[in-house]
A and B are shown apart, each in its own frame.
Chain A
């Protein structure tokens, strides 16, 4: 099973929306997906209540000690991908989510506040030696600010592609208990999220293969 943690202590950066969007995009690619909500705000649980389809599975975690147990249980149930949505704070639960993740995604809008807010998250990720990528989120469609933000984030680490534009479809989908790929399958927002999931899944699979080969070498 692959674990992706969506982390940053900046509120409003789009962690929950991105988590839902990516989970639904992965499900659309026939993957068995679960969402782990490690955020007391409960955005994903409320989304789940509005949703008629029972999938994806949503697990809530409040106690940091429970996160590994939930992941083990999901793994045992044959889930292929777990996406952890964390709270907008640098708490123990978020740190544990980072420690459990194969890949950490740091959503950031093209603003100084979002980039600055990444400091504690980056420190935790680097101390825990986790892989990470920035996701440039809620971006304007064009402009110097976007290019500058992309250059800034890529100087700090890997920047995922494509950028996710500021589009109403994301909020409307969340309000309707849907993923953006269900809400507006032909829309630009859907296209971007699917492409972003493609980018992420490639990295997860490459890492998994690398690990398999490394383990084989060690065993030999």
Chain B
């Protein structure tokens, strides 16, 4: 009779525990979000004291290549599990970013289409003016035409930026020769993409808000 196993097989244990890569992505987001807020507490802490901090020169930015070289030069070759996790993380981030953009773009384009349809319908109904000159309805429709055009331009511009970023990432991936480079590229791209999506979502939101405000045009 065999001795009962005292611990789980490594692959089962690994599947059960939390991915440190995903955690690092969450940490990165948390740090970025905190930095985007007002740095009150740190400033208050250092308001009267950082004499040496002011004398000491501003630090150099974190060298990306240096970070990449760390894993390449590590004492142990990275295994396939790590590679898979990194690739999955990058794919997940891309998918999330694209989904967010698709949703935003669809919402904005639907809105623009609705405005255009509304305009066409009202023209057909012949309700665009009255005897005393251009009415409020007409100026609303002229405004709606402008808003729809503006919305299309914004969405197209965002699509162009995203396509450019994706192409650049794909090009860089093609040039990656080591796992370390892949890690660096994936993490940088994921971070940039998340930042980009946040900014673009804000922009789309503000465009949508402008459209819905009465009398903005």
A-side residues, CB < 8 A to B, are: 3, 64-65, 68, 71-72, 92, 95-96, 99-100, 102, 110, 112, 115-116, 118-119, 122-124, 126-132, 142, 144-163, 207, 210-211, 214-215
Contacts and interface: CB of A to CB of B under 8 A. Distances in A.
Interface size on B, as a range, is: 35 or more
A154 B67 contact: yes
Contacts of A149: 20
A153 B74 CA distance: 13
Nearest to B18: A112
B184 A154 contact: yes
Interface of B: 10, 14, 17-21, 23-25, 27-28, 30-31, 34-35, 39, 42, 45-46, 49-53, 56-60, 62-63, 66-68, 70-71, 73-76, 78-79, 81-82, 85-86, 180, 183-184, 186-187
A132 B186 CA distance: 21
A68 B51 contact: yes
B70 A154 contact: yes
Contacts of A153: 24
Nearest to B28: A156
A123 B35 contact: yes
A207 B56 CA distance: 11
Contact of A95 (B28, B35, B46, B186): B46
B34 A68 contact: no
A133 B78 CA distance: 20
Given A99-B53, A102-B56, A151-B183, A115 B46 contact: no
Contact of A161 (B20, B74, B86): B74
Contact of B30 (A3, A119, A148, A157): A119
Contact of B70 (A99, A112, A161): A161
Given A95-B42, A123-B34, A152 B24 contact: yes
